[in-house]
């Protein structure tokens, strides 16, 4: 395993130059929505490529510590999470007048590889929001500082016990914590509750029932053709959300990768999962062929416009989607994936963002102090009530019981149930870069290139193993 890890580190370092060039092709990324979390409000990139470099060092002599932070969020924006982050920063700077938090909003898809390039160059931000998919790579590169070297050394057992385990223990290595999982996302079905009520439909418990429900929700006009599809999907490799084949594979074999970190989907289970996903287009008629080229962000836009009754996506987007629909916002609801036999739910991917301190930062203590502040009871409450996100602290969950019981906020309870009982945290013992893109490419290879399902899955599995040192 150590040999493989060293080989992977060499590979990613060799690719850092190309990543840096790619990230630097545009100084201003397109507005994005976060999908892995997907899942994020749009933000414009600050001019960070040429930015202050080591801004912290430049201001040390003035008695003020400047802490640079890369995030997909814009604290000046009006969206819930951006607004919550802005308030948290304001409160922190008021309590710590000698520390200035400088947010440099990034394109969420390019942010983590761009961070790896900046780490290699020695000019990374002091705080990074690292996508969960790449946490294993971040640990292998030594890019993050153990929080035990910062504020955790002073925490009591009571304080640690108040943090939800799924937030706190993701990506630990050798007993050390390198991040706090913030803005946790969970893949689930968005559905139009008003359409379900109109047609007298119940929440499907099995995948067969799911197909039947989607067929009932697909409406055909004799003159114009299909006006609304039961199930929207997106197979573009730009800003990718995991598709339902992921849940189907996890349901039968519990993981997408072998113990050695190789792709484990070029098999009978993977073939059945991809076939079901594509049958929604070719056999059941509940998904349009346009799904082949549709991006995750376009999928949400079209759902909000009424083109689909059900889509799969990151639950973190609920407040944003509700703000965009022309119909009753309360009709936008979440349901967990069904299962093969109707007992429980198929496992689903836990996505999100790992907030950590860069190991090369010159202001580690100040950066760690802000990461600690993100976990404070006051900040946690803002993150829930303003940001519409899951609480980090158990005490916050208890305190905000009435908030969670509000019908508009019950989706958070559904997400928490999914994470607890059917959540699949992505592995961090080995790199898993771009696995979502690989599975979407497999769908494209079948639908566009005419490859067999077996050929497509074998091809992308080989690409994954080569790219990740397998």
**Based on the domain organization, do 336 and 457 belong to the same domain?**
yes
Quick check: 8 pLDDT over 60? no
User: Looking at the structure, do residues 131 and 254 belong to the same domain, yes or no?
Assistant: no
Residues 223 and 96 in one domain: no
In a domain, 46, yes or no: yes
Q: Are 84 and 387 in contact (CB under 8 A)?
A: yes
- Note whether residue 24 is domain-resident: no
Place of tokens 């968005």: 190
CB 243 within 8 A of CB 274: no
Instruction: Tell me the percentage of the chain whose pLDDT exceeds 70.
Output: 86
232 and 213 fall within a common domain: yes
In-domain check, residue 373: yes
CATH of residue 240's domain is 3.40.190.10
Question: Is residue 15, in this structure, part of any structural domain at all?
Answer: no
- Does residue 178 carry a pLDDT above 60? yes
- Cα gap 85→375, rounded to integer Å: 12
Same-domain status, 307 and 439? yes
Nearest to 192 by CA among 211, 212, 213: 213
- Residues 259-313: pLDDT tens digits? 999 999 999 999 999 999 999 999 999 999 999 999 999 999 999 999 999 999 9
Overall average pLDDT of the 338-364 stretch: 95
Q: 265 and 249 in contact (C-beta within 8 Å)? A: yes
pLDDT of residue 470: 62
139, 8 Cβ separation under 8 angstroms: no
Q: Return mean pLDDT, the chain.
A: 87
**287: in domain:** yes
Q: What is the pLDDT of residue 44?
A: 34
Residues 289 and 438 placed together within one structural domain of the fold: yes
Tokens read off for 302: 């079209």
Residues 228, 196 share a domain: yes
Same domain (yes/no): 312, 370: no
Asked whether residue 196 falls in the same domain as residue 274, the answer is: yes
Q: Say if 2 falls within a structural domain.
A: no
Q: Clarify whether residues 308 and 436 are in a common domain.
A: yes
**Cα–Cα distance list, 45 to 120, 154, 354 (Å):** 21, 35, 20
pTM, two decimals, is 0.83
Other CB atoms within 10 A of residue 421 CB:
11
- 65-71 and 127-131 strand pairing: parallel
Domain count within the chain: 2
Q: Which residue range(s) make up the domain with 263?
A: 186-349+429-467
pLDDT of residue 65 exceeding 50, the answer is yes
41's tokens: 């409000």
Check whether residue 379 and residue 437 sit in a common domain.
no
SS3 445: helix
What is the C-alpha separation between 202 and 409, in angstroms, rounded? 21
Provide the pLDDT for residue 62.
62
Is 13 among the domain residues? no
Mean pLDDT (whole number) for 367-392? 94
pLDDT tens digits along 313-339: 998 889 889 999 999 999 999 999 999
Same domain, 345 and 361: no
257 lies in a domain? yes
């Amino acid at each position: 395993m150590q040999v493989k890890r060293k080989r992977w580190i060499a590979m990613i370092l060799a690719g850092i130059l190309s990543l840096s060039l790619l990230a630097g092709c545009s100084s201003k990324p397109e507005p994005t929505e976060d999908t892995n979390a997907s899942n994020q409000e749009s933000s414009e990139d600050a001019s960070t490529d040429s930015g202050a470099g080591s801004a912290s060092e430049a201001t040390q002599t003035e008695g003020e510590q400047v802490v640079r932070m890369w995030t997909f969020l814009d604290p000046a924006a009006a969206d819930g999470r951006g607004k919550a982050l802005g308030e948290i920063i304001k409160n922190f700077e008021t309590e710590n007048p000698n520390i200035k938090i400088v947010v440099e909003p990034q394109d969420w898809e390019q942010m983590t590889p761009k961070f790896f390039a900046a780490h290699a160059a020695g000019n990374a931000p002091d705080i990074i929001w690292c996508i969960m998919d790449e946490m294993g790579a971040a640990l292998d590169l030594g890019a993050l500082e153990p929080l035990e070297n910062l504020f955790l050394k002073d925490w009591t057992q009571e304080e640690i016990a108040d943090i939800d385990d799924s937030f706190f223990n993701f990506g630990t290595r050798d007993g050390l914590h390198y991040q706090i999982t913030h803005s946790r996302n969970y893949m689930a079905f968005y559905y139009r509750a008003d359409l379900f009520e109109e047609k007298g439909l119940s929440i499907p418990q099995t995948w067969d029932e799911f197909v039947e429900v989607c067929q009932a929700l697909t409406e055909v006009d004799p003159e114009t053709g299909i006006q609304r599809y039961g199930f929207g999907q997106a197979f573009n490799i730009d800003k990718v959300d995991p598709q339902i084949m992921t849940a189907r594979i996890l349901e039968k074999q519990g993981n997408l990768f072998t113990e050695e970190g190789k792709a484990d989907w070029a098999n009978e289970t993977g073939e059945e999962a991809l076939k079901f996903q594509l049958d929604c287009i070719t056999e059941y008629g509940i998904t349009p062929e346009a799904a082949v080229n549709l991006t995750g962000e376009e999928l949400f836009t079209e759902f909000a416009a009424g083109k689909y009754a059900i889509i799969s996506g990151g639950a973190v987007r609920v407040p944003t989607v509700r703000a965009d629909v022309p119909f009753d916002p309360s009709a936008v609801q979440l349901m967990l994936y069904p299962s093969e036999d109707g007992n429980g739910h198929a496992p689903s991917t836990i996505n999100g963002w790992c907030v950590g301190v860069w190991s090369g930062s010159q202001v580690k203590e100040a950066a760690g102090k802000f990461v600690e502040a993100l976990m404070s009871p006051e900040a946690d409450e803002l993150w829930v009530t303003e940001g519409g996100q899951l609480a980090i602290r158990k005490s916050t969950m208890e305190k905000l019981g009435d908030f969670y019981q509000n019908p508009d906020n019950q989706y958070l309870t559904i997400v928490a149930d999914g994470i607890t009982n059917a959540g699949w945290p992505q592995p961090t013992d080995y790199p898993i870069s771009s696995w979502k893109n690989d599975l979407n490419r497999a769908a494209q290879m079948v639908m566009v290139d005419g490859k067999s399902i077996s050929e497509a899955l074998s091809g992308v599995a080989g690409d994954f193993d080569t790219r990740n040192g397998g």
